[in-house]
């Protein structure tokens, strides 16, 4: 977990910021939410009302990552189109309270699951329902007409797959125009097989079990989709591949993101191929091979974990994680 805490001057500045925007005056009780491996999230209780604050961890940060104001923009856009997400209450630029930007959103009652199931979704039958709900939410997200939202002005879906690959290839450049040895074979395969985008939709880019809040009563129902920091407008098959790559398979070796979705392991939970088929049925999109997108997702995760490991803020990130992602990526590479 990234270690960062509120000092007294920061607490006072935040209290003044919230009061000035009519959110909640009074004494605050602040507690971290989640593991803090990416953006930092805090619950703030103020005289009977709870809100949530999101801010980046201390720098250095991966290029283009942790843009919380951009994240807030996606929340506002998809929330306005009916997707279940928290309401954005306020945004703050660098210097407004912290030395980084941040935003404040409404608190939603629910439960977040990762490695294990817990009440009210502790029954084994809940896992298949959660998997189905994740696929249905993705199809709903991809059906939003992004051209009619505030995202249209800045979206660049053209040549998305090639640009996306090049962003993460640069992160493992060897300094001489090549790629670091553990990444070289997979990078070469990706570059040689870049597909034309299958279309352009809003994609979450991190839609997995641990980034969803479930309603506080059975049956399984998504109360909110969280963590939109990687969202963009791009190829929906990349989003689908991420969801599939984060789904653990019973009896198989798991990547770190699959470890964080182990609560989905139960009798009756659809296999990855069934999740893919269900997505195409719900979305109405033509079925397609997603192998390139799966390799891209795993390559990207390896590079991001490497960057975070080298930044040294969080002991969670270790070299073994990168190796596991790259081994899984090699499995999907097809000549």
> Coil, helix or strand for 170?
helix
DSSP state, residue 173: B
Task: Give the span between the Cα atoms of 9 and 331, in whole angstroms.
Answer: 51
Q: Does residue 57 register a pLDDT over 90? A: no
- Dump pLDDT digits (tens) for 77-93: 999 999 999 999 999 99
Residue 63 binned pLDDT confidence (cut-offs 50, 70, 90): low
Hunting for tokens 């964080």 — which residue is that?
260
Q: Does residue 71 register a pLDDT over 90? A: yes
- pTM for the whole structure: 0.91
Residue-level pLDDT at 1: 47
Residue-level pLDDT at 37: 62
Q: Does residue 38 register a pLDDT over 80? A: no
Q: Does residue 36 register a pLDDT over 90? A: no
Provide mean pLDDT across the span 260-287.
96
Question: What domains lie within the chain, and their CATH numbers?
Answer: 8-106 (3.30.200.20), 126-332 (3.90.1200.10)
* Cβ partners under 8 Å of residue 255, min gap 6: 245, 298, 301, 321, 324, 325, 328
- Dump pLDDT digits (tens) for 174-218: 999 999 999 999 999 999 999 999 999 999 999 999 999 999 999
Task: Give the span between the Cα atoms of 161 and 260, in whole angstroms.
Answer: 26
Q: Which two tokens stand for residue 102?
A: 């941040």
Q: Which of 36, 33, 17 has the alpha carbon at shortest distance from 25?
A: 17
């Amino acid at each position: 977990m990234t270690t960062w805490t509120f000092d007294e001057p920061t607490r006072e500045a935040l209290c003044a910021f919230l009061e000035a925007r009519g959110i909640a005056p009074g004494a605050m009780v602040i507690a971290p939410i989640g593991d803090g491996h990416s953006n930092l999230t805090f619950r703030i209780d103020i005289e009977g009302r709870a809100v949530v604050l999101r801010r980046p961890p201390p720098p250095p940060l991966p290029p283009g990552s942790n843009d919380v104001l951009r994240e807030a923009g996606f929340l506002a856009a998809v929330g306005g189109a009916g997707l279940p997400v928290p309401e954005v209450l306020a945004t703050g630029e660098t210097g407004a309270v912290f030395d980084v930007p941040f935003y404040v959103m409404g608190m939603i009652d629910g439960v977040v699951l990762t490695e294990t199931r817990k009440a009210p979704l502790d029954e084994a039958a809940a896992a298949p329902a959660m998997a189905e709900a994740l696929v249905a939410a993705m199809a709903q997200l991809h059906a939003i007409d992004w051209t009619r939202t505030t995202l249209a002005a800045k979206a660049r879906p053209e040549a998305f797959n090639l640009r996306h690959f090049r962003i993460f290839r640069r992160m493992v450049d060897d300094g001489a125009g090549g790629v670091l040895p553990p990444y070289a074979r997979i990078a070469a395969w990706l570059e040689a097989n870049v597909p034309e985008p299958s279309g352009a939709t809003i994609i979450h880019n991190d839609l997995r079990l641990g980034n969803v809040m479930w309603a506080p009563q059975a049956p399984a129902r998504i109360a909110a989709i969280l963590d939109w920091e990687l969202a963009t407008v791009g190829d929906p098959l990349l989003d689908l591949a991420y969801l599939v790559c984060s789904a653990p398979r019973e009896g198989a070796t798991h990547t770190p993101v699959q470890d964080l979705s182990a609560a989905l392991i139960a009798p009756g939970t659809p296999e990855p191929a069934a999740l893919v088929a269900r997505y195409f049925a719900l979305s109405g999109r033509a079925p397609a091979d997603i192998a390139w997108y799966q390799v891209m997702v795993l390559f990207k995760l390896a590079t991001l974990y490497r960057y975070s490991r080298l930044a040294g803020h969080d002991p969670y990130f270790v070299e073994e994680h990168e190796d596991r992602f790259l081994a899984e990526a090699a499995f999907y590479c097809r000549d």
